[in-house]
Amino acid sequence: MQLPDYWLTRPDAPLDEKTRDTFDELLQATLQISGCPTIQYTLSQPKWQFLCYIADQGDMALHGSGNPDIARFEPRQSNDLNDFGNQKAVYAASDGLWAMFFAIVDRDRVRSITNACVRLAEPTGTLHGPYYVFSVSQTALTNQPWRTGTVYLLPRKPFTSQAPMPFGENQVHIAQLASFEPVQPLAKLTVTPEDFPFLTQIRGHDDERLQEYASALQTGAPWPAD
């Protein structure tokens, strides 16, 4: 079963052994510093590729925020249409691009957001993706409600993954994680709107029809018409 064309795919970028080694060296050097150091990023590779590489290794959870000074994440009640996302928890992503979206969208300037990051699993276990959807309030989109933000690197161990959901004969794996205990970040990376490769592909939606968009994402239906 294929996803509708409004789902985006991760940009192509070469990830050879030299690039992996460079990313590993930067991360390990940063983690040698106590506290929550800011990653001094001067590499030629895009920041999104670095974050995706870290997340894909499975040892880190990523959290995007507009606050650059978070020393400890505390569980707090979320407000989400999905049960897993509507708990008192610390939420994070197992995908670098998804975390970047939360970092660069100024939530004070948008009424709501609709977004997703998924992988499709065939009955054989073969995984496809990741696939993304990013949308903000249509009324805010024309004003470009973006900001410089921070992506925090958190230890993966205290987090629980969202359970897969059925999607035709396949299953959908959602890159959402939740921790029900406080979490201290290990490091952080400053990101700008220009670092986000999907900036011009962020959609707009009607705030009064959020359930329609959520249903479309869950069932593979077309994007609701304006």
Angle between helices 47-56 and 17-31 (to 10 degrees): 80
**CA–CA dist 60, 38 (Å, integer):** 16
The answer to whether 60 and 154 are in contact (CB under 8 A) is: yes
pLDDT at 81 (0 to 100): 66
DSSP letter for each residue of 74-108: --EE---SSSTTSSEEEEEESSHHHHHHHHHB-GG
Sequence-ordered list of residues with C-beta below 8 angstroms from that of 112, at least 6 positions apart, any chain: 136, 137, 205, 207, 210
pLDDT at 144 (0 to 100): 97
pLDDT at 168 (0 to 100): 85
pLDDT at 218 (0 to 100): 86
Q: Give the global pTM.
A: 0.95
- In the chain (226 residues long), the average pLDDT of successive 10-residue segments reads 89 95 98 97 98 97 98 90 82 98 98 95 93 97 98 98 90 95 98 99 96 90 88
pLDDT at 86 (0 to 100): 76
